[in-house]
Amino acid sequence: MMFPFESLSDERRALGLGVAVVVGLAFGFVQERSGFGRAQKLVGQFYGYDMTVLKVMFTAIVTAMLGTVVLSGLGFLDLRAVEFNYPTFLWPMIVGGLILGVGFIVSGYCPGTSFVATASGKLDGLFTVVGVMVGTLVYAEVEPAMGGFQNSGKLGTFFLYQWLHVPRPLLAVIIAALAVAAFAGASKIERVVRGGDSHSRQPVDTRHGEAARTSGPQHGGPVLVTGSSSGIGADLARAFARGGLAALTELCRLFAEDMVVRGSGGILNVAGLAGVMPGPHMAVYCATKAYVLSFSAALANELRGTGVTVTCLSPGPTETRFGETAGFSALQLFRLSAPMSSITVAEAAIAALARGADLEVPGWRNRLLAASVRLVSTRMAAGIARHMLESPRAAAKKVAVSE
């Protein structure tokens, strides 16, 4: 055999189990980040508004298939070591597939994604896991009385290329072509279904919160987007603290009530990295960002299990006219690292909303900064923020005075 399959042998079983645990955790992490810990996203394929599951399934099949064919052709992989030789039992497999499908539709999860949802703290995922365990125990009890049905329709061991009488490379090409066709068909279905949901595509112009109600690309329901950015001047900051936050809060309340009734929807609140620490000389501005972060996290928890998600976008320095207008461009924060593209930030926000993430901090530097603030005292965080929010001229003047 070849690595890592040989690691599953008796001599190196401990290593093999360790590798399996790492691969399993990585697989679960990718599923959660892709939104597969949310029942609304998974069942979207049955209603046509979200065909991500179908696309991911074909992507996995084609990637694994082409990888094995290429590696086998290069002599790096022995296909006999990875062949699945379990015999086919036609009738029990059909019945089992139907039962699994019904369970998928009712609960919104398959067995694997139910564990992902449970790890994410979702109660519906936990109930599905319990249901799978109970069902397993029930089957173990009734299996002896099934009269051999579980072994009926035995067709032996055969492979698709043998059944179709085509070479393996040609079969790989055929399946890849089918995957491309499935992708195109799935995208067409999504466009048709979403296009018909006209009542959820009417814009709502609300200047205070910059909100827009649109058809959610992954929710199959309305999406509310609010922003906490106004100017940075004292008058504007006070005005936003009085009216802007109240508008954001009220919009979330109004839209959330409607979304809960529908059983689907998403709220995207835009805060900022300034909300993770106190901001000397920008105290009101940073405090408004902190409010949006805290409010969004609490609301996300309250709405968990209703089909409505709340995502808070907390970007760092971003390439917009806001930086120049507010005088941010001269700050140390903007000089320590290049601001992110507004398109990149927007794409990160859409992806986070689609997977139902509670918080999205675009960029590894910003995520590192947000995480490091939690490791120091509030007093120290305020001192760090003061340095980052100073302009080079102010910093030079401070040094000159100290000398």
Alpha helices in 143-219 (DSSP H): 160-164, 168-195
CA-to-CA distance for 168 and 156, rounded, in angstroms? Answer: 20
Q: Which residue has the tokens 């603290």?
A: 241
Residue 194 has pLDDT above 80, yes or no: no
CA-to-CA distance for 172 and 372, rounded, in angstroms? Answer: 48
Q: What is the pLDDT of residues 329-388, one digit of tens each?
A: 556 555 556 678 888 899 899 988 988 889 999 988 888 888 888 788 888 888 877 877
Output the pLDDT for position 402. 42
Q: Given phi > 0 = left and psi -120 to 50 = alpha, else beta, which region is 264?
A: beta
Output the pLDDT for position 37. 82
CA-to-CA distance for 225 and 215, rounded, in angstroms? Answer: 12
Evaluate whether 284 touches 331 at the Cβ level (below 8 Å). no
What percent of the chain shows pLDDT beyond 90?
Answer: 14
- Strand, coil or helix: 140: helix
Output the pLDDT for position 243. 63
- β 222-227/154-156 pair status: unpaired
- Nearest 5°: CA angle at 327, between 326 and 328? 95
Helix axes 123-142, 90-107, angle to 10 degrees: 150
CA-to-CA distance for 39 and 48, rounded, in angstroms? Answer: 14
Evaluate whether 289 touches 245 at the Cβ level (below 8 Å). no
User: Closest Cα to residue 314, out of 367, 382, 236, 388?
Assistant: 367
User: Closest Cα to residue 358, out of 18, 26, 38, 116?
Assistant: 38
Q: What is the pTM of this model?
A: 0.52
Evaluate whether 113 touches 37 at the Cβ level (below 8 Å). yes
Q: Which amino acid is at 394?
A: A
Evaluate whether 381 touches 277 at the Cβ level (below 8 Å). yes
Q: What is the pLDDT of residues 224-261, one digit of tens each?
A: 676 655 444 555 556 556 667 888 888 998 899 888 88
3-state SS of the chain: helix, strand, coil percent to 5?
A: 65, 10, 25
Alpha helices in 263-390 (DSSP H): 283-302, 321-326, 332-336, 342-355, 364-373, 378-388
Mean pLDDT of 130-145: 91
- Provide the token pair at 366: 């910003």
Output the pLDDT for position 203. 38
- Strand, coil or helix: 267: strand
Torsions phi, psi for 155 (to 5 deg) = -110, 0
The pLDDT-based confidence of 79 (bands split at 50, 70, 90) is: confident
Output the pLDDT for position 329. 56
| DSSP state letter for 204 | -
- Provide the token pair at 190: 């999504």
**Cα dihedral 119→121→124→130 (10° resolution):** 50
Helix axes 245-262, 283-302, angle to 10 degrees: 10
